[in-house]
Amino acid sequence: MIAYYLILFATGFLILYSYRSVHLVTKQLSNRWKWIVRISYLVVTSFVYLTTVYIGVNRDDFRDNQFLLDYAVSGSITLSVTLLSICIFQLIADLVLLIRSTLWKVKTSKTQELNAGSMSRRTFLNKTALGIGGFMLGSFLWGTTKGRFGWRILTNQLSFDNLPNAFDGLRIVQISDLHLGSFNKNFEPMKEAVEMINELNPDYIVFTGDLVNADPAEAEPWVAIFQGLKAKLGKFSVLGNHDYGWGEAVTDEEKIKNSNGVAEINRKMGFNILLNEHKILEKDGDKIGLVGVENWGYSKEGWFPTKGDYKKSIEGMEDVPFKILLSHDPTHWDHHILEKEDVDLTLAGHTHGGQMGVRIPGLFEISAAKLFYKRFAGLYKQGNQHLYVNRGMGFLIFPGRVGMPPEITLHELRKS
């Protein structure tokens, strides 16, 4: 609670400090427009700040109004990030002026020349600060409206020496972390995603968990839409941590009830759900193993369900040359699969890629998720074992996607 109030105080300070950039940049405007811009800035930022704080403090009173709850989360985060980006450059401008004023105490004429140059640089930094702030604001506004439905198809081409010849060219579409409770029955964007997936003409479709936020009832209205997913050879799924219920207060009995409910809805959608089970996939006489574990998660709080059991999943499994594992949480790969089991390809999700980040393909990818997960997005390889972490299609807590679009992954497997 103390941390919460510190954040509230800090955001209020950021509003006042960021106003310095607005004040300095608007000096060149006419007197009328100068005050219109300044007052508008203070009114809008203060309104968003006060309303999001009010809803946040009284969130129990708004539990049935998802729109206002989403507004409170997205508004507070967008405001904080925008103000912080402005204030960073404002601080740089102030430090530059302070340092130059301290180091260059000379004659009056030179001081005047210095002050003129300093003000020019300072104005440039102030304009830069507002430009960066405007960019961040635009990014977050896009991410919480159109961006969260901006489906992106990523193609992941992989080669394996031990892939049976009949499976050369196998096409697997992976989706993950739907969190259907967050969509508020906004069906049209998801119908578009289903059409995009079907156009990929996959052999298999796999779903790596988190169908809901907390309650199986969230997924009931979506059954018909996901029944429309078409795969030539089959659809498979596993459970994610949210599919057992959300939070430490969920009892073991409730977790069982929730997971059973979510599993049944998976089946209604046409998925063959693997609960610590395996299936042998056969084509033209060749075989590979598809293994699906229940959630195995790791957190310092310790409440993530740890029901995943790879050993149990492969009991009675015939000897096959190639194995694919569906496991929701990528930490399972590090703890129980890597260099311990002969799994060639593990498909996971869970992280959402942080839902916010900066990605330049082939160069780098930055996300807050990287602070919490060693493997947070994309492809990882160690030795002959591969892990792919899907960035998810849905969203949770923050109702948007900023620089981390919702992902549909096409895995193309080749014989090398």
Q: Which residues of 257-276 are buried (b: 16+ CB within 10 A; e: fewer)?
A: ebbebbbebbeebbbebbbb
Would you give the DSSP letter of residue 64?
Answer: T
Residues 165-185 pLDDT 10s: 999 999 999 999 999 999 988
Is the pLDDT at 116 greater than 60, yes or no? no
State the DSSP H helix or E strand holding residue 181, giving kind and residue range, or none if neither: none
Residues 345-358 pLDDT 10s: 999 999 999 999 88
pLDDT category at 306 given cuts 50, 70, 90 is confident
Q: Are β-strands 170-175 and 407-415 bridged in parallel, bridged antiparallel, or unpaired?
A: antiparallel
Quick one: average pLDDT of 188-213?
97
Quick one: average pLDDT of 298-319?
83
Is the pLDDT at 85 greater than 80, yes or no? yes
Residues 6+ apart with CB under 8 A from 394: 177, 178, 179, 180, 182, 183, 210, 352, 406
| Phi/psi of residue 382, nearest 5 degrees | -140, 120
Other Cβ atoms less than 10 A from the Cβ of 385: the count is: 19
How much is the pTM?
Answer: 0.87
State the DSSP H helix or E strand holding residue 88, giving kind and residue range, or none if neither: helix 66-103
25-29, 192-196, 402-406: which has the highest mean pLDDT?
Answer: 192-196
| Cα dihedral 121→127→129→135 (10° resolution) | -150
CATH architecture of 152-415: 4-Layer Sandwich (3.60)
Signed CA dihedral, 176, 237, 158, 151: sign only: negative
279 near 235, Cβ under 8 Å? Answer: no
Q: Which residues pair with 380 in a beta bridge?
A: 387
Calculate ∠ Cα 262-265-268, nearest 5°: 160
Quick one: average pLDDT of 83-87?
90
What residue segments make up the domains of the chain, in order of their start?
Answer: 2-143, 152-415
pLDDT category at 120 given cuts 50, 70, 90 is low
**Mean pLDDT, all residues of the chain:** 88
* Dist CA 151 CA 149 (whole Å): 6
pLDDT category at 114 given cuts 50, 70, 90 is very low
Residues 249-293 pLDDT 10s: 678 888 899 999 999 999 999 999 999 999 999 999 999 999 999
Signed CA dihedral, 175, 180, 184, 185: sign only: positive
Instruction: Give the residue carrying structure tokens 């169908």.
Output: 211
